[in-house]
Amino acid sequence: MDIIRQFKKMNIWDFQDLMQEKCLDKGDSAVYFMYLDELKLRRIESVSEGGDHKLRSLAHELLASFKREYEKNKDFCSENELKDFSHIVQNEI
């Protein structure tokens, strides 16, 4: 199975800006999961402790925004998706 990564060549700062522009407090749940997947893959590839910290920080920022969006609009995602998203951020990044 091939994984298509549309953000792979983007540096972390440009990725962060794009994530904030397209996703935080205004995306749909699929967009949030797409950015979370990219953070997971970047975490796997990371070789520095500082890089790991930055990726975890971005993941927690994404989680906070995901929860805010869910509180504003219960149709944003299912309860299971919220739990899955939280689990991934807490345990896999």
Other CB atoms within 10 Å distance of the CB of residue 11:
9
Q: What is the mean pLDDT of residues 7-30?
A: 83
Give the tens place of pLDDT for each residue, 27-63: 788 889 988 999 998 888 887 887 788 899 999 999 9
Asked if 73 and 30 touch (Cβ cutoff 8 Å), the reply is no
What percent of the chain is modeled with pLDDT above 90?
Answer: 41
Asked if 86 and 63 touch (Cβ cutoff 8 Å), the reply is yes
Structure tokens at 21: 């522009």
The per-residue pLDDT for 61 is 92
Domain definitions of the chain by residue range = 29-92
For the cut 60, the answer to whether the pLDDT of residue 1 exceeds it is: no
